[in-house]
């Protein structure tokens, strides 16, 4: 691919779930995708599949993020801040402070560090797009979700602030906020590896969102004309009217 048409996309948390699906979707649209993630074997597998580049990166580690920016080069067209996740379902009064710190560091500080590192390359591209993968948990709250909803509300605030601060620069800023997405790991991690509890999250739901559904939304956002900014895209399965209102009768 020539230097004129070469388009670089960076996807964090690309080893599985929404991140891996997004890497595949962007590669199919002709982007050269840098797959960043903590688990080297996982991201290497995804990168090999799509003809991309794998880079082991913990978004909470400044040195890792600096290496990611160096590998991405001077011009980046798309940054998908997908690394994140939820830990635990304890009430606020029974919260585990280490879980809360981990969620905040990954969802919020990690997003800030990666965006900060890649902002010059996004601006230099002349048509950059930042997509922050948030959640409906960043717009509503629910019992047992205090730490996660706090982190995703913070991510939503960062996204809106970035849009103000980058106004006048050739960079679009979007938040994609999915509702119930069934992936192989999200709920399993949240419940500390308890498969039975993780499976109950989706019990009776005919068709939760898939990682591919969210990836398709990312692809749509980044392939809009350069003057079109999708501020916020909330996506839920038809069975989910709200986090606390889900049809489980199918």
Domains and their CATH numbers in the chain = 8-246 (3.40.50.720)
H, E, C per residue of the chain: CCCCCCCEEEEECCCCHHHHHHHHHHHHCCCEEEEEECCHHHHHHHHHHHCCEEEECCCCCHHHHHHHHHHHCCCCCEEEECCCCCCCCCCHHHCCHHHHHHHHHHHHHHHHHHHHHHHHHHHHCCCEEEEEECCHHHCCCCCCCHHHHHHHHHHHHHHHHHHHHCCCCCEEEEEEEECCECCCCHHHHHCCCCHHHHHHCCCCCCCCECHHHHHHHHHHHHCCCCCCCCCEEEECCCCEEECCEECCCC
The pLDDT value given to residue 13: 95
Query: For residue 29, how far is the Cα from the chain centroid?
Result: 19
Dihedral over alpha carbons 72, 74, 76, 77 (to 10 degrees): -160
Q: What share of the chain is helix, strand, coil (3-state, %, to 5)?
A: 45, 20, 40
Mean pLDDT by 10 residues, the chain (250 residues): 72 95 97 96 96 97 98 98 92 96 97 98 98 97 94 98 98 97 80 78 89 97 97 96 87
Which residues make Cβ contacts (< 8 Å) with residue 93, sequence separation at least 6? none
pTM here is 0.94
- Six token digits for residue 51: 């003809």
The pLDDT value given to residue 183: 84
Which one of 104, 142, 148, 202 is the catalytic residue? 148
Task: Kindly report the backbone phi and psi dihedral angles of residue 31, in degrees, each rounded to the nearest multiple of 5, phi listed first.
Answer: -80, 145
Query: For residue 4, how far is the Cα from the chain centroid?
Result: 28
Task: State the alpha helices, DSSP H only, in 57-139.
Answer: 62-72, 97-104, 110-124
- How far apart are the C-alpha atoms of 165 and 157, rounded to whole Å? 12
Q: Is 148 a catalytic residue?
A: yes
């Amino acid at each position: 691919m020539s230097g004129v048409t070469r388009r670089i996309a960076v996807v964090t948390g690309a080893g599985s779930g929404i991140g891996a699906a997004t890497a595949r979707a962007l590669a199919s649209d002709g982007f050269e995708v840098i797959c960043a993630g903590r688990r080297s074997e996982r991201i290497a597998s995804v990168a090999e599949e799509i003809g991309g580049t794998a880079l082991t990166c913990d978004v909470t580690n400044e040195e890792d993020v600096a290496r990611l920016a160096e590998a991405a080069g001077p011009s980046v067209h798309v940054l998908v801040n997908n690394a994140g996740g939820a830990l635990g379902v304890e009430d606020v009064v029974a919260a585990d402070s280490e879980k809360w710190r981990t969620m905040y560091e990954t969802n919020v500080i990690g997003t800030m560090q990666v965006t900060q590192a890649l902002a010059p390359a996004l601006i230099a591209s002349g048509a950059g797009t930042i997509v922050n993968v948030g959640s409906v948990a960043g717009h509503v709250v629910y019992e047992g979700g205090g730490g996660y909803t706090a982190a995703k509300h913070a991510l939503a605030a960062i996204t809106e602030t970035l849009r103000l601060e980058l106004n006048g620069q050739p960079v679009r800023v979007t938040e994609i906020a999915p509702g119930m997405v069934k992936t192989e790991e999200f709920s399993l991690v949240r419940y500390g590896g308890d498969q039975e509890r993780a499976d109950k999250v989706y019990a009776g739901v005919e068709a939760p969102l898939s990682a591919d559904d969210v990836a398709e939304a990312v692809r749509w956002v980044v392939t809009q004309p350069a003057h079109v900014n999708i501020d916020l895209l909330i996506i839920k399965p038809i069975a989910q009217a709200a986090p606390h209102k889900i049809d489980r009768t199918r």
